Structure 1
Amino acid sequence: MLKTDYVFHATEEARELERLQMLERIFDPGTQRRMLATGLTTGWHCLEVGAGAGSIVRWLEQRVGPSGKVVAVDTNPRFLRGSGSSTIEILQGDICDMELPPAAFDLVHARYVMIHIADYQTAFERMLRCVKPGGWVVIEEPDFQAARAVAGPDEARAAFGRVSEAIERMFRSLGMDHALGAKLPVLFRRHHLDQVTVEHEGHLSAGGDLIPQMMKLSAEQLQAKYVATGLVTESDMEQYGRLADDPDFWAIYYATVAVTGWWQPQCGGRTQG
């Protein structure tokens, strides 16, 4: 199995926590809405893969109550320590390698996790193995192929395009799929999940909005990796950061594809939505 390091593994801890918390501010409302649509309620057992800064883990704890269970899996659960809750169990490890109990969870969720795994199909199969018959899977992943500058000076749009190409090349050099989000519906259908719903969000944003700010922070942390692709210069990276603050610059930094499916091993699988 191809193994690669998480691209943010060596970043400074305070900056990484800031990035993860910004991501939570942007995407938690949609994630929570999708989870509630599954029927999530007290007593459920939930698996959160790639728990990040822990906001969804803590929210799930409140939803399932003391009769439920939330298992959080992360390769580096540095921001999850000290929860002090009997409802939450924190496990350190790679989902591709862990031996989690089969058919144990009513809901399995991952957000922006599989794009960082070269063997994402194995990761998905490991998650699916953990779902009870009649349980639910909710996966949300980015599609960086959707990135494009929409409004701004030609030079600025060109610099944005070069950084977007560098992001693609970085992922490809690590054996990862920068456009994974767009492939999720096919993955769900191939594994015969039923009641599948697909949401696609384009995230058209102006400089100063949260997504450009988050991408600026990511670019600052990963600048050496982007420059190492040979597609961008430090000057390009500086301009990319300035554009994230410019309210007259509009761009789609990436799209998010969110897919929800119901797992019943005996069903043939039908796609809706």
Structure 2
Amino acid sequence: MIVDSHAHYEDERFNEDREELLKSLYENGIELVVNVASSMETIKKTVELTEKFDFVYGAVGAHPEECANLSEQDIEIIKENSKKEKIMAIGEIGLDYYWDEPERIIQKKWFERQLDLAREVNLPVIIHSRDAAQDTLSIMKEKKADQIGGVVHCFSYGVEMAREYLNMGFYLGIGGVITFSNGKKLKEVVQYAPLESLVLETDCPYLSPVPNRGKRNSSLNLIYVAEEIAKIKNIDCDTVINVTTRNSKQMYGLKL
């Protein structure tokens, strides 16, 4: 049974068939889903999903693109929601320089603040880092994130950066990009990294793997990610599924 360690089922693209789709997951080999908030609005929706579905857990936090108007009052709201029984992490948090807004100084401020919060509430972190490799790593080292733990979601850097995060004890989130013909860099990382340090994720509705690239993603597509990892590492797919499921549960403090 597969664990989807990072999904966004609160997204409006699931409005028409959310309940039907989620209810179909278990019979299709998906044991658990962790729904990850990215804004103050999606925190509420994420908590509601965890309360409605036994197999859905959650994470709460503010994505770097959503932190322009963040306040200490919002941090308190994140903190209060993090205490709920099925909230397993602070995330997704981090830096995103792809669009370069809000300003980098603002992104850094709230990334640091949410790392502090994660330490305070004793939860792992889900790190979003795009085109911000060195700043992300520097802040995580400064904040001693190795003592917090968690995952670098949708890992998109090379082997050298992977080594840094693995040395800090972080997991690497592997999703649909591993199946892309232009995903050579990620394939090299997966070949390099121990299977015990990888977790499967969709980031759905985004980043659907081949053969469904370009369509709405869901946890049902994770088998293609597992198969590609198995191919790269020259091991059987069941091993990939079993080990990554254990990894996800350990990372989030879920019952093995």
Indicate whether the TM-score tops 0.5.
no
Name the structure with the higher strand share. Answer: 1
TM-score (norm 1): 0.29
More RCO (CA 8 Å, sep 6+): 1
TM-score (norm 2): 0.31
Larger radius of gyration: 1
Name the structure with the higher helix share. Answer: 2
